[in-house]
Copies of this chain bind each other. A is one copy, B any other.
Amino acid sequence: MKKSALFDALRAGILDLSLAPGSALDEVALCETYGVSRTPLREVLQRLSGEGYVTLEAHRGAAVSSMDLPVIRSLIQTAPMIYAAVARLAAENASPDGIETLKDAQRDFRDASTPADMAIHNHRFHEAIGTMADCPYLIPGLKRLLIDHTRMSQRFYDARTATERATIRKARDQHDAMIAAFEDRAPAEAVRLTLDHWALSRDGIGRFVMPSPLPLDPTQEIRDAV
Contacts and interface: CB of A to CB of B under 8 A. Distances in A.
Interface stretch (A79-87, A151-159, A209-217, A218-226): A79-87
Copies of this chain, count = 2
A135 B85 contact: no
Interface in A75-103: 75, 77-79, 81-82, 85, 89
A206 to B, nearest CB: 18
Interface stretch (A13-21, A24-32, A41-49, A118-126): A41-49
A77 B86 CA distance: 12
A51 B52 CA distance: 11
B85 A140 contact: no
A87 B134 CA distance: 24
A166 interface: no
Chain B CB within 10 A, most for which of A78, A135, A137, A138: A137
Interface in A106-145: 134-142, 144-145
A82 B78 CA distance: 11
Given A50-B47, A50-B50, A71 B136 contact: yes
Contact of A144 (B49, B51, B89, B137): B137
Contacts of A47: 46, 49-50
Interface of A: 39, 42-43, 46-47, 49-52, 71, 74-75, 77-79, 81-82, 85, 89, 134-142, 144-145
